[in-house]
Chain A
Amino acid sequence: MEKYAVFVPKLIAKRESFAPGHRACVGCGEALAVRQACKALGRDAIIVNATGCMEVIATPIPYTSWRLPWIHTLFENAAATASGVEAGLKAMVRKGKRPAKEIRVVAMAGDGGTSDIGLQALSGALERGHDFLYICFDNEAYMNTGIQRSSATPYGASTTTAPAGKLSIGQVTWKKNMPAIAAAHDIPYVATACPSYPFDLMAKVEKGVSTPGPAYIHILSVCPTGWRCAPDLTVRIGRLAVETGIFPLYEIENGKYKLTIDVPQLRPVRDYLKLQGRFRHLSEEKVLEIQNRVNVDYARLKEKVACSQKLNS
């Protein structure tokens, strides 16, 4: 937990742009992440949502949880629709058809809508340099359709389309590094976040929307239903993802890496894996393999951070 957490909760925005009464599963980490992100967005924002859990649970006609202007069109096109929103607003302001008020354009999608089916549209929007924030709420599988694997599903996790069995450990590929792909577009701001660290998350969302040009934030969103864990562990498991180095919290500002939550001594990945049914089948050997991979990835990230610090000094 961040140092000052105990003192500051009362200072955060009271406004709930994402109203209760939504139909997310009990203990949903994604609904929690959306709620926290919205606190940082303020009221002058337009949300463009991809198809996925958040669209389904929050907008069954005629009920909406949204108190911000919100649009959903399709699954793979959130970034493209957001491009149109941004370009439309710009043109209309320029032509005097809308008041010159800054409106924050925010696209939201899940890991499937981002790293699989929506990757092309996202890449296009980042490359074109639209002034918008794209948030990926990553629950590491197609949860809305029933826990099918995506390219963001971690190695060794059992899902309904990559199930663990006699001949398989479940997911046999390593999680696609989506923040790195976003960063490869040389956009001004990329970050990872997790609602277990709400102030870090809100600070990043605030930074992301305030940055001129495209910004990308990848938020790990624990899914008790898909991860086969107790719903009260949502925040704890998110914290363990960070403390074990499985999901480090960092930002890349104008190409410079910085760990926003620096964990001096990583906990063993076992602590994270053992709380989740999706990893229950993993042998000690596999756990070790994951541990080794995390060690390498984390060391690489630290190198990038160190390299960025050198550039700064």
Chain B
Amino acid sequence: MRILTHNMLCCLKCDSFPLKIVAVNKEQDEQDENPEFIKHMLDRLDYDALKSAAKDLSIEGLPDALPENVAENQAALTSLHKLLLEVVVKDGELQCTNPACNRSYPIKQGIPNMVLREDEVKIKAV
């Protein structure tokens, strides 16, 4: 699972977003730098959720608030490159951080399982 995907996911039971990433096994998939891609992705993604993913995966260097011109901020670009293009979570889980819910979703061999059990489908945690 890549972090772009994580940026889209929310809890099926209570809609909590973002989910906390607990990575037991992750990989680094080396990619060429692509500042234009990063810039376009920031327009489309949720920045707070990117920061949350970076924290979960111990990737440092993301500014607290998104800089106005990220293309000129090399430190931010380097972190975002690692976060969006290189990190792949292979095994672990995605945890809902709502204390009233606490549902977790397993990730196995890079595949999150985002299906509720039959008895969970109708019960929405508030």
Chains A and B belong together in one complex? no
Residues of A participating in the B interface, judged by any CB pair closer than 8 Å? none
Chain B residues in contact with chain A, CB under 8 A?
A: none
